[in-house]
Amino acid sequence: MTTNSHGNAMDATSPEQIIAAVLAAHPGEPACLTCSFQIEDMLVLDLLRAHQPGIPVLFLETGYHFPETYAYRDRMTALWHLNLVNVMPDYTVAEQEAEHGRLYRTDSKRCCQLRKVDPLMRALRPYRTWFTGLRRVQSPSRRNLAVSEIHVLPTGESLRKISPLALWDDKELWRAAHARGIEALPLYAQGYTSIGCAPCTAIPAAGADPRSGRWGGDHLECGIHTATVARGSELGAASPPRDPGNGAPE
């Protein structure tokens, strides 16, 4: 039995059941997955594509990813025939660095805001359901993560945010990924445990928090999951309210 952030019990008990329950409860409503091509996202994606092979796969194309990440993204996109959506910032890396220098060194939170948070918040507007690969054990900042939440965008619009693996530990995750024959991003074999942009990702010290290698340990989140308010929601709950002005997604 899983719970939402209010501690309410929900019927779905496995990631497969959670995904099936959410999609069945909201037929025809646009859904997407954010995908960094880390193993959590790949597992959720593999489960989702059994229901919706063309589900939009939103990749935050910051321009700063590892070459291995880009190669893996392209390989898996071809192999799984993914509907990949590269979510682009307003400015190229060259334009941003010409204007501000290497923000990832001087003001990484602003860099993430410009290259991740702002573009994603815009990209999410057409959707009513946002699937993620987030898990509680990834970081202390995620210890209160719920399977089902409501995410409020800066516009005031909201959508349900579903994290089917929220309660899973590493062993459950990797066992399921291996069982489904999912090939992992090769950087894991080098010792990386949480993989984002290359300048802000390091191999964590042995036994350290998995996300401690991000941003030099300076912070644990880029702001995507903390920039807006999240409230608990039942899996089959009615759709969250949209913009009070027009009531419909664009």
Among 36, 40, 57, 64, binds ligand SF4 (CB under 6 A): 64
123 binds ligand SF4 (CB under 6 A): no
200 is known as an active-site residue: no
| Torsion 208-211-213-219 (CA) sign | negative
Mark the segment that binds ligand SF4 (CB under 6 A) among 6-14, 141-149, 196-204, 229-237.
Answer: 196-204
Among 200, 220, 224, 235, binds ligand SF4 (CB under 6 A): 200
Q: Which residues of 51-89 are buried (b: 16+ CB within 10 A; e: fewer)?
A: eeeebbbbbbbbebbbebbeebbeebbeebebbbbebeb
Nearer to ligand SF4 by C-beta: 69 or 158?
Answer: 69
Amino acid at 70: Y
Among 26, 73, 116, 142, binds ligand SF4 (CB under 6 A): 116
Nearer to ligand SF4 by C-beta: 66 or 131?
Answer: 66
For residue 124, how many other CB atoms are within 10 A of its CB? 23
Nearer to ligand SF4 by C-beta: 102 or 231?
Answer: 102
Binding track over 206-225 against ligand SF4, x by CB under 6 A: ----------------x---
The nearest distance, CB 223 to ligand SF4, in angstroms, is 9
Catalogue the E-assigned strands of the chain: 2-3, 9-10, 31-34, 56-60, 83-87, 129-131, 148-152, 158-162, 230-232
Residue with tokens 């993560």: 145
Among 44, 82, 112, 187, binds ligand SF4 (CB under 6 A): 112
Q: Name the residue among 42, 49, 50 with its Cα closest to residue 76.
A: 42
Catalytic residue among 32, 111, 197, 222: 222
Among 56, 133, 164, 196, binds ligand SF4 (CB under 6 A): 196
**Rg of the chain in Å (alpha carbons):** 17
- DSSP secondary structure letters along 36-103: -SSHHHHHHHHHHHTT-TT-EEEEE--S-B-HHHHHHHHHHHHHHT-EEEEE--SS-HHHHHHHH--H
Q: How many residues touch ligand SF4 (CB under 6 A)?
A: 13
Nearer to ligand SF4 by C-beta: 115 or 128?
Answer: 115
Binding track over 92-111 against ligand SF4, x by CB under 6 A: ------------x---x--x
Among 2, 62, 139, 163, binds ligand SF4 (CB under 6 A): 62
> What is the distance between the alpha carbons of residues 85 and 118, in angstroms, rounded to a whole number?
16
Interface residues toward ligand SF4, by CB under 6 A: 62, 64, 104, 108, 111-112, 115-116, 196-197, 199-200, 222
Q: Write out the catalytic residue numbers.
A: 222
